[in-house]
Structure 1
Amino acid sequence: MDLEAVYRDLHAHPELSFAEHRTAGIVAGHLRALGLDVTEGVAGTGVVGLLRRGEGPTVMLRADMDALPVEEDTGLPYASRNPGVMHACGHDVHVTCLLGAVRALVADDGWLGTLMAVFQPAEEGAGGAAAMLADGLFERFGTPDVCLGQHVAPLPAGVVAYCPGVAFAASDSIRIVLHGRGGHGSRPETTVDPVLMAASLIMRLQTIVSREVAATESAVVTVGAVHAGTRGNIIPDDAELRLSVRTFDPGVRDRVHAAIGRLARAEAAAAGADREPEVVVDNSFPLTVNEPAATERVAEGFRAVGLTVSAVGPASGSEDFGLFGAAAGVPSVYWLLGGGECDSNHSPRFAPKINPTLDVGVAALANSAKTFFLQITR
């Protein structure tokens, strides 16, 4: 298995959440070739591979597989061939590194236990981790003793960065629908303009963090999508906003949510709307919390094999990885893998360096698993 070729192929053929059919097939084929017991179709497109090697701990290694609805603008020779879809968050790196780590662990006869390699669909806001758990992940394949994973980020290439305790923010995807009364663009006085409501609300939402969250606390409120109307001379009936909210504290989260609802209702009332707006939480990720003792154990293992390790603070990004450890009631550890100082994740120009990123990512996953397996002394 040529990992660089695997990565280039995955990058060129990205697939959206719960549509990772080609990716899942490639993953399953490589796992079978390595001798694992493979199950496809977990939560639709998820893949689970088991490598049982005697009595010992069960270690779960996880990689997410889905891409984003982003038009790639990297100019790479292996850029996306699927219009409007891109591996803009590096999940192609995650899949490739986990395949490489499985290969390394298969070749290493110095450990005992069970490797559970989980290739998850739909991390990007579509509830893939929850779907795998609902499909009986641990009931069907066993409960792990620890859950481990990594995420590529625009850090110096080859660095692994870890954060004990709260590592990634909780996330809520919120949809607001503002109801107005449409009409002709030349006669706005006969309408209740939801586009104007939306514009005003977008600006007001940005006051939540600056005026309702203490300087010692942290939150992010981003309006990432606005949808309204079809033509310039038609005032539409409705306007829709899609928000991303990130918080590190449940109390702050509750205050931010309350403020969003209050401001949306106030804008509608100020505009004279006949109907209150709809404010709906479409999807939520909990905090990702790294169990401190397990995290330090992993970091020491990284140092022992010569990896460049950096301690960092919590990140405002979010992940559904933490659901696995919480559901199993076991420690979980999730770290960042430096892919080079490129544009940020979710950018159309996100282009991590292939190496040393892949080499270090493989080593980090394989070594973290061996940290928990029983070691054979010869």
Structure 2
Amino acid sequence: MALIPQQIIEQAQRWRRDFHTRPELGLQEHATAKIIAELLQSFGLEVHSGIAQTGIVATLRNGEGPTIGLRADIDALPISELNDFAHISCHPGLMHACGHDGHTAILLGAARYLSETRHFRGTVHFIFQPAEENAGGGRLMVQEGLFERFPMQAVYALHNWPGMPVGEVAVSQGPMMASQDNFYITLTGKGGHAAMPELGADPIVAGAQLILALQTLISRRLSPLEQAVISLTQLQAGEAINVIPETLQLAGTLRCLSNQTRQRCWQLLEEYVNSVPVPYGVKGEVRWELGYPVTQNHPEQAEILRSAAEHTPGIRQVHFNNAPSMAAEDFAYLLEACPGAYFWLGADGATPSASLHNPRYDFNDDLIPLGIGVWVSLVERSLKL
């Protein structure tokens, strides 16, 4: 495979920094989508806009052959940036703190290169997905008929990965990232005077016991071979120092690496909420906010992606079947609907990258030629002339 021309790399770096200065939240990426569509049209691609409100699919055809999709996420986060470089966000309270600006620039660079070289036979759909951060843009695209309108044999995505050096890639034949669900617990007792607790039913004491009990759900009710995390992250109760409150509110998140474990944890958590408060005269209720499913790579496509990365100039090492992350990713919805794979692209240069979702994070532009290279290698090896 030929090296990516320096002109395309430098142009993609400029696109990336331009996106970084003008971040937009999920389903509000109107200016971002307009720029992406104009660039894709200038490359001669067939562009479809307005999918899941602000999503774009651009199609590049070169003869008869298989069809694959490549996806990038385009939304930013509600974080106030603390960097001081020239391309800092000019939208107060918003920043590209997860690298979606870089993912978008990489996919645009790959689209330009492939449109000019066409060393493949078949069709590539370039998918620019809105609202990866919490709003489920991937789910919306699937629901709006992404794979019916644009049939494909496989779909792929990448994410930059702080903690892994530049020049390294990780991909697995199975789970890459966890499911993510939020839960909201209400404990209702009987309020009263703090000096006379026997006349009330204290939801705070019941809540303390429930918090401790939930920590045993993973360690004592699941097999050690199952992987899940429950974190309680919010607690609200009480108004006056001398009053036992009527209610206590708890909230948290559940992460799992299989759908079977996920369903078992739903069942167990509800069992604990309904039973642990009872001896204290308190009633428990839980409300679920179901989030992203497990990001589960398909074995065949993971192997294809592994081979493509191994044949990409500048990629020094490919980690295969590495340990997954308990973070979540809505590319999972696309993988539920179509065979495909997702990989991590190492982000740490001489100075380690700030973590994702950190106000001092900035995408490492050294990843751009590597990311473009993997996409080009994947297309040219999957859609051989």
Q: TM-score range by the shorter chain?
A: 0.7 to 0.9
| CA positional deviation for 1:166 | 2.7
SS in structure 2 at match of 1:206: helix
Instruction: Tell me what 2:327 maps to.
Output: 317
Q: Are 2:357 and 1:346 aligned?
A: yes
Q: Are 2:153 and 1:145 aligned?
A: yes
Please, which moves more after superposition, 290-299 or 33-42?
290-299
Q: Are 2:304 and 1:293 aligned?
A: no
Q: Is the 8 A contact 2:52 2:140 kept in 1?
A: yes
Deviation string for 1:268-323 (max 9, x for gaps)? 435534x532x222123222222223322222222223322222233322222232
Separation (CA, whole Å) in 2 of partners of 1:82 and 1:228: 35
Match of 1:371 among 369, 372, 381: 381
Q: Are 2:314 and 1:304 aligned?
A: no
SS in structure 2 at match of 1:161: strand
Q: Are 2:335 and 1:335 aligned?
A: no
| CA positional deviation for 1:225 | 4.3
Percentage of identical aligned residues: 36
Deviation string for 1:38-67 (max 9, x for gaps)? 121111111111112221111100011222
Separation (CA, whole Å) in 1 of partners of 2:133 and 2:273: 26
- After TM superposition, the structure 1 = structure 2 runs for residues 29-40 of structure 1, keeping only pairs within 5 Å, are 29-40=38-49
TM-score normalised by L of structure 2: 0.84
Q: Are 2:272 and 1:282 aligned?
A: no
Separation (CA, whole Å) in 1 of partners of 2:82 and 2:236: 24
Q: Is the 8 A contact 2:296 2:335 kept in 1?
A: no
Instruction: Tell me what 2:56 maps to.
Output: 47
Please, which moves more after superposition, 117-126 or 81-90?
81-90
Separation (CA, whole Å) in 2 of partners of 1:97 and 1:158: 15
- After TM superposition, the structure 1 = structure 2 runs for residues 136-215 of structure 1, keeping only pairs within 5 Å, are 136-140=145-149, 142-154=150-162, 155-179=164-188, 201-215=210-224
Superposed CA RMSD in Å reads: 2.9
Q: 1:52 to 1:216 in 2, by over 3 A?
A: same
Q: 1:193 to 1:218 in 2, by over 3 A?
A: same
Match of 1:111 among 90, 109, 120: 120
SS in structure 1 at match of 2:34: helix
TM-score normalised by L of structure 1: 0.85
Separation (CA, whole Å) in 2 of partners of 1:17 and 1:176: 27
Match of 2:132 among 123, 132, 136: 123
**Structure 2 unaligned residues grouped into runs of 5+:** 1-7
| CA positional deviation for 1:263 | 2.8
Deviation string for 1:150-192 (max 9, x for gaps)? 1111111232111122322233232334445678999988876
Q: Is the 8 A contact 2:68 2:155 kept in 1?
A: yes
For 1:114, give the aligned amino acid.
T
Separation (CA, whole Å) in 1 of partners of 2:344 and 2:273: 36
| CA positional deviation for 1:79 | 3.1
Separation (CA, whole Å) in 2 of partners of 1:210 and 1:26: 49
SS in structure 2 at match of 1:72: coil
Instruction: Tell me what 2:141 maps to.
Output: 132
- After TM superposition, the structure 1 = structure 2 runs for residues 216-295 of structure 1, keeping only pairs within 5 Å, are 216-226=225-235, 238-266=247-275, 268-273=277-282, 275-277=283-285, 279-295=286-302
Please, which moves more after superposition, 76-85 or 21-30?
76-85
| CA positional deviation for 1:245 | 1.5
| CA positional deviation for 1:374 | 2.9
Separation (CA, whole Å) in 2 of partners of 1:223 and 1:158: 37
Q: May I ask how many residue pairs the two structures share in their alignment?
A: 369
| CA positional deviation for 1:10 | 1.9
Separation (CA, whole Å) in 2 of partners of 1:114 and 1:99: 16
Q: Is the 8 A contact 2:295 2:335 kept in 1?
A: no
Q: Is the 8 A contact 2:232 2:251 kept in 1?
A: yes
Q: 1:223 to 1:342 in 2, by over 3 A?
A: farther
**Structure 1 unaligned residues grouped into runs of 5+:** none
SS in structure 2 at match of 1:374: coil
Separation (CA, whole Å) in 2 of partners of 1:293 and 1:150: 17
